[in-house]
Structure 1
Amino acid sequence: MKVKKAEFIKSATKASQFPPADRPEVAFAGRSNVGKSSLINTLVNRKDLVKVSGRPGRTQLLNFFNVNDVLNFVDLPGYGFAKVPLEVKRQWQPMIEGYLANRPNLIAMVCIMDFRRGVQDDDLALIHAAPHFKVQPILVFTKADKLKKQETVRKRAELAKQFGVKAEEILLFSSLKKTGIPELWQRIEELTGLTEQ
């Protein structure tokens, strides 16, 4: 998709605050500091649509973005070792689960993982939860530029075996090298039916 427009809509914590469910929606989820904000910015070709922070746990709300007036992106709070108060973390789970369970236009969730670290237990929990919410997971591994070619091939093959897919189906992404953008857009377009845009 050629992105002509990408803008912040609003932040929210509950359904009554969400924007209208009038176009397909794709959520982005991952551990804190996995490169989620950078991935979204790279995908829509904007430098600072989503605020990038070196401090884990910066995203504490559901942040909605409009892409080309035909699609919404939703940035979910990161999980894992976010440096935020425990009480805030406790509020995230019902907020995120409430969103996943009750958003009728939510089609897919981009599950973002650090390629160097592989799949963690909480990543697996998220991936396995997606079908329960009738949401299609798209598995993306960021920071793919950090490994040498031989190591990349080996690690990709391991992940493919783990998920029972072909190696080329493991989506590798690098915001720095701008790799993986067409492949991820293709998956999003296929799932949302926006291939004609």
Structure 2
Amino acid sequence: MAHTVLIDSNKLKRLREQRVLSQEGLEQACRETKGCSVSIATIKRAERGRTLSQRTAARLAHFFSVPVDDLIIHETSRTGDLPTDETRKSIVLWFQASAKPLLTKVAQKASRFEPYMYQRTEKTLILAFPCSCPEARLFQLQRTLKQICQPSEEHRALITTGMLVKSSPLQWRMTAQCVEHLTRLTGNIPDGTIAVHRTKP
């Protein structure tokens, strides 16, 4: 009988989303990568926190270029997945577009800034990035969006700063104040605008 291991479902999902891949997209990408073929059923099972064979875990680790031990939850660490009160000031990108290809393109380009929070709905994308050198990061994101978005395309964007709270060792979410901040600012952004809002230190 093949040895089974428990995959860290949160980390697997985060790695997948950082590459802007759906579960189906991950299956296809794995299939196209030599030695990494993994079925869609297995991917769904892994993200539900079910056990996988050690061979399958190794394939996923190889695809994401991470050590297999980084994907596996060991017995000594299973009790550590508890909420924390850690907060972090972050650069937050809010982007809205009616065209899904544009939304996907922005997500792919922004992923090179290594976001640690990713949320996407049908028309809206929210990413959070480390806040080191905030002025430089704000400028880089704004320049990247201007290079991607054409004036004729319907889009609105906001780049600002906000506080995130760590809800588990691998997951971050916006604080209530950050959500209110975004809601207030994004309601006044005209179509075709990439706004930058600098908060006071």
Bin of the TM-score, shorter chain as denominator length:
under 0.3
TM-score w.r.t. structure 2 length? 0.26
Instruction: Name the one with the larger helix percent.
Output: 2
- The structure with the largest alpha-carbon Rg is 2
